[in-house]
Amino acid sequence: MEASDFINVLESRGANSTALGLISIADSIALSRNASRPFSNRVESITAALAERTLGGVESGLTSGTIDYLSTAFLTGNLPKEKAFNVSEFMLPVSFISSLVNLSSHMCCISSQIYQSALPSAIGKRDFSRILTLASIGLYCGKGQYSSGELFPWSKQVKFIDQCCTLVTNAKMWSILSRYKVSFDPAVFTQPKDSSLAPLQHYCELLIQNAASQLDQESYVESALLLANKFTKQYHLNKHVPASLLIQFLLSSPDEEISDIRRNLTQVEEAVRQICLPLLPLVNQSKVLRKCVMSLEESAKCGADYERHNMVLVLYKGCLDKLSTFMTTETRRKAHNQESQLIERRLNAVILLSTIFDDKYSPEKKPHYSRLFEPLPADPLQIFSSNQKKYSVLDHGSSQNVFDPLAALHDALAMDATNAMTASLSPLCSILGIPSGHIHARALVVKFRRMKQLGEALPSPQSSIFAVAKKLATACDRAELSWWSSSFYDNAPYEQLRCLELAYTNALLASEQIESTATGIDTKDQRYAIDRVRRIDLERSMLSDQLVVYDALTRNPCTPEMVKSVYKSIIQKVHDALQDSEEYMPENLVKGLLVEGSMVAAEASLDINDAFTTTHFRSLAILVHDACRMLSTRYSHINIGRCARVVTRRWLVHGDEVNNGTIADTFEASISDNDHFLEGTSTLKPICEDSEVTSEFVMDIGGMNISSGNHVWNHQNAKVTNTGIKSSNEPSVFESLSCQRELSDRNNSRAALRIAFLMCFAQDYHQLPESREDETTLVDREVNIDANITTPTIKDIKSRTKLLKTRQKANCFEGDLALSHAQELLGIVFAKQGCTVASTFGLMLEDSHDVSYAMHDDDRRTKNKALSFAMRHRALKVASILCPHDVLVRVMLEQGYSNDFDDDYVEKIAFGSFLSMEIESMGLALPHSDLAQLSTMHFPSYGRTLWRNHGRISATSLCGRLHLLVLELSLNHHDTVDWDLLMLMYNEIMKQELPRSLLLACECAVQSRAIERAAALDKKDVIVCISDAAKKIFELMSLEIRADIESKILNVSACSSTIDRVLQIIDSLDTANATYFAEAFASLGIELKEQGRLDWYEVMATAAVQIVSHISDLQSFSMLSPVTKSMYHDAFGSHNLHTQVPISSVSSVCADSIQRYEMSFRH
């Protein structure tokens, strides 16, 4: 191996010192031989590598990584200047030059060869001692000299030497910051002098905080200040910064650590007073202490640290007092006084809170002091407006962005059961600048909400609301508090009324006070005060009237519980509707009670599933009218009789289905209608003393329940899809009101019941206005009412009237009102052709002559409208409900409506009225316009005429309805029946598959006893036709039930009423048909059971058992299938083969004379 190879190996392994020694030996040998130096070109590179190793660089080698000062100086001094300077570039590589030492441009272009990695490594590792050493080497190379006194070659590199000096200074401070765990960016320390000092000030603040926390507690203030002063001096910061930052740190909120020096308030205050504050001018003291106050109030951690807040406020208040003599301008004096007042209020609040909430209260239960005040203004020279800020006596809640100074006290007030703490906190009102009594009011608000949430009973208004209201200074606050509190007594109406009375009194007083101090401009406060009076008065009037309505239950203690419950629901529904209206009027309440009460009573009476009897109807009417009487007594402008007449007239003329007859529709028309029934009324007698209560009305409502069975009124517009029925007019067997006849009968029956409800106990219903009673005698009034009736002579009417008056005096406790109702209603029924509503109604439209009442447009049109047969029919229905049969007969005789009167005349008139209404509603022609003549014509012949002229018309409005009418005409001529026409109608209805019309047709045959008469006359074809109709009903019903297996749209319990009606029809047929239907129901039940519809199976099985129980022939019973017999045996056992199950009746529970009246349609 040659010498050069050996040196290469040593250099590659980092053995630079050995390699350099071998080169020295080789050079000595060469020089002794007077030869050239063989390795002279290798000395410089090996020396440079060795110099980097002595500087602690990353070059490979066997030397230590620590810095060797002497070797470095020797090696770099023996290198060429450019090469040696490249060595010094390790301190300032190009990537660090611009941010650390700002080298000149020619230095940035020098390639990093040897020292490139030394300084970056030290900075990256935060090895500030190495940075300091490297910088010192640079200084030594620039300022040092040889033993001969000659300066080192770098002495002329002035800029480089200055950079090394800066790096030495920064490295020392970096070392201090690192020791106290202050995070920093080294580049910030070498920024130009004109750059921002904020980052350096932030480092100084962190240095003070960390140094004060880590140094000895006995001298931490002095030591922290010493370090901070050194920092500020070195980097040219304001000399007051260290003291200011130290004060802010000491007076800030402490950490959770127990060792935090700020927890020792005594030591902190002493340090601030004796050491820090004297270092600052008075103005700087004020600024820094103000920052401390604001910072402490923003911190949520020490909101209940009253001692700390008190210390800071005392320091700041003392500083403000010293500054007061330096306020030279008026603006500064005002701002200073304002600031002093704000701090003084805070100080007083802290003292009060610390007195009340001592050490026995945990910090969580203490109110946060800082939430009692709004933050101090950012600019201390900002002057607030002189107008006093208005605070609400109530809690605004979190939904409104409004500062509430009392929100911080809610938790404390909620715990105050004895009001002792509330009394202790009451001085806060003056401290916070809010009106007196607001603390007590807020305590009441908090407690009421808490009690409502927990469901606890509220105290009486006298002991709570009234007592607190006395402590409030203004009427406005008293009104707001009592008005708000009234909403919590929704279950105690009398207590709620007391609150509203108090609120109304104070709201009125507050409104007067605002108006007296107003400047003539309609301000927002004035508008709100007026609106508040209006709204409170509205609620007060509504509640007061509602209590009057509820008092009817007290005045009628014998009312059944069922009626009481219905009555309360009526009141609630009317009350809710009134609350939704923009303005309350008591006449709307009266009208709402009458309208809603009549609706509830009518629908309950028509519902066969509701055990609402005639007694219940009467009791409910008494309650409603009694409540209306009391309201009329309170409001003299309300005339109950006139109100009832207005609504009655509308329903008689148009029916109650116009606008649905609901409360909402009633209130919409109330403004125009009110003028028709607002009039002074005479003093009322208690309802128990009124003769109307003792009048013997015959309100037998059973017949008003349509004979075709149960109807689910709520499903009027329901749609049944995929029922298997072809007809689109009647798509369902079970949808009760899909049939036009059923719907018409239901509407007319409901309207009649509602009108009867309005008329039965309405006070002064037949009384003229007082202004006209002197001009119109009773006899003249009766003449006016009956002016359009065809009668013998006026003289005869007067003679009968005199007889009537004599009889009334003898029996005034019995039927006076019923007789008046009969006279008026029958006058409508028997009015002659061409009569108008105005001429016939006489009494009901007498108000139109009075200019003081504005007539509604609808009433003007109604006034000139000719009487319809639908109106006559409804009037007759009402008369049949309200008046006994003998009263109707008596009026007909006395008024001359018939000269030849027999016992069946009323029934003939009833069917004639019904017939005329149906013909009129279908738009067909009547042979006569006189009801008496219509009632005596030959009905089967007219039925054939109708069918011949209109039977082939496929109009939707006539479908089914005309068939039923013609069928009834074939049955309703005494004892004669047009059997051919009857069967034709059955076949037509079956052909068109009209299930509901077919059901009504079969029920008509049962109720008119047509099946019995056909059997007596041996009309087998008629019986077969009716039996086929019943089978068709079952077929259509089966199709619909099968279609419902998957969809499950039908309500099984609601459909059972239709099945009961089918069973009644089957019960009237012979045994053979009964056996057929028993098998059919049983078979359908088994099929449904196999499909998983056990609900339908129960219904079908029950129906089959009911049919079988009525089969009395043992031979027919023995021919039943085993499945059917098994159903029967499961129900009654094998030993009871003749147990009959009664077929469910579909007639109403109220069924007396009106049932006979309805039945007259079928005879």
CB-CB contact of 306 with 354 (8 Å): yes
pLDDT digits (tens, 9 = 90+) for 1098-1135: 999 999 999 988 888 788 888 888 888 888 888 776 54
pLDDT for 381: 78
Q: Kindly report the number of other CB atoms within 10 A of residue 1137's CB atom.
A: 17
Mean pLDDT throughout 1056-1084?
90
Beta carbons within 10 angstroms of residue 113's beta carbon? 14
Q: Let me know: does 391 contact 347? Beta carbons within 8 Å.
A: no
pLDDT digits (tens, 9 = 90+) for 85-137: 444 443 333 333 333 333 232 232 222 333 444 666 666 666 677 777 777 77
Residues in contact with 924: Cβ distance below 8 Å, sequence separation at least 6, in sequence order: 946, 950
Amino acid at 131: I
Question: Mean pLDDT, to the nearest integer, of 1057-1076?
Answer: 90
Q: Give the three-class secondary structure for 1120.
A: coil
Cα–Cα distance between 1041 and 882 in angstroms, integer?
A: 42
Higher pLDDT, 1139 or 125: 125
Gyration radius (Cα) of the chain, Å? 54
Q: Which of 92-106, 189-203, 924-938, 1142-1156 has the lowest mean pLDDT?
A: 92-106
Q: What is the pLDDT of residue 581?
A: 76
DSSP letter (8 states) at residue 92: S
- Amino acid found at 211: A
Structure tokens at 166: 């800066």
Burial profile 853-888: b = 16 or more Cβ within 10 angstroms, e = fewer:
bebbeebeebbeeebbbbbbbbbbbbbbbbbbeebb
CA dist., res. 357 & res. 306, Å (int): 9
Q: How far apart are CA 316 and CA 331, in angstroms?
A: 20
Which segment of 575-579, 691-695, 841-845 scores lowest on mean pLDDT? Answer: 691-695
Phi, psi (5° rounding) for residue 219? -130, 25
3-state secondary structure of 145: strand
pLDDT-derived band at 564, boundaries 50, 70, 90: very high
Mean pLDDT for the stretch of residues 267-288? 89
Please, what is the Cα angle at 300 between 295 and 302, to 5 degrees? Answer: 80
- Burial class for 387, CB neighbours closer than 10 Å (0-12, 13-18, 19+): exposed
Exposure of 735 in the CB half-sphere (CA atoms within 13 A): 20
- Calculate what percentage of the chain has a pLDDT beyond 70: 72
Q: Is residue 757's pLDDT more than 90? A: yes
Cα separation, 96 vs 710, whole angstroms: 99
* pLDDT reading at 13 higher than 60: yes
Q: What share of the chain is helix, strand, coil (3-state, %, to 5)?
A: 65, 0, 35
pLDDT of res. 750: 92
Rounded distance between C-alpha atoms, residue 1131 and residue 195, angstroms: 104
Residue 671 pLDDT grade (very low, low, confident, very high; cuts 50, 70, 90): very low
Q: Could you report the per-residue pLDDT of 303-345, keeping only the tens digit for each? A: 888 999 999 999 999 999 998 888 888 888 888 898 999 999 9
What distance in Å separates the CA atoms of residue 472 and residue 478, rounded to the nearest whole number? Answer: 6
User: Which helix H or strand E contains 121, and what residues bound it?
Assistant: helix 118-124
Among 108-112, 490-494, 632-636, the minimum mean pLDDT is found in: 108-112
Q: How do residues 346-359 score in pLDDT, each as one tens digit?
A: 999 999 999 999 87
- How far apart CA 782 and CA 804 sit, in angstroms, is 12
Decide if pLDDT at 881 tops 60: yes
Residues 1053-1088 as b/e (b if ≥16 CB within 10 A, e otherwise) read ebbbbbbbbbbbbbebbeeebbbbbbbbbbbbbbbb
Nearest to 408, CA basis, from 319, 257, 505, 297: 297
More confidently predicted of 481 and 126:
481
Residue 681 has pLDDT above 80, yes or no: no
Please say if the pLDDT value at position 863 is more than 70.
no
Residue whose tokens read 């239907």: 1077
* CA proximity to 869, closest of 819, 824, 908, 923: 923
Q: How far apart are CA 880 and CA 47, in angstroms?
A: 135
Which of 291, 247, 255, 252 has its CA nearest to residue 272?
247
* pLDDT tops 90 at residue 1149: no
Report the amino acid identity of residue 841.
F
Residue at token pair 């075709």: 708
What is the C-alpha to C-alpha distance for residues 664 and 580, in angstroms, rounded to an integer?
9
Q: What is the pLDDT of residues 420-436, one digit of tens each?
A: 889 999 999 999 989 98
**For residue 871, which of 651, 1160, 642 has the smallest C-alpha distance?**
651
d(CA 747, CA 660): 10
DSSP 1028-1087: HHHHHHHHHHHHHHHHHHHH--S-HHHHHHHHHHHHHHHHTS-HHHHHHHHHHHHHHHHH
Would you say 441 and 481 are in contact if contact means Cβ atoms under 8 Å apart? yes
Residue with the larger pLDDT of the pair 914 and 908: 914
Tell me the per-residue pLDDT of 42-77, one tens digit each, with 9 for 90 and over.
776 777 666 666 655 544 444 444 554 445 555 555
Q: Which tokens hold the place of 453?
A: 């949430």
Contacts of 825 (CB under 8 A, 6+ apart): 875, 876, 878, 879, 882, 883
pLDDT score at 15: 73
Determine which of 2-16, 116-130, 885-899 has the lowest per-residue pLDDT on average.
116-130
Angle between helices 1052-1067 and 1094-1109 (to 10 degrees): 20
User: How much is the pLDDT for 1071?
Assistant: 85
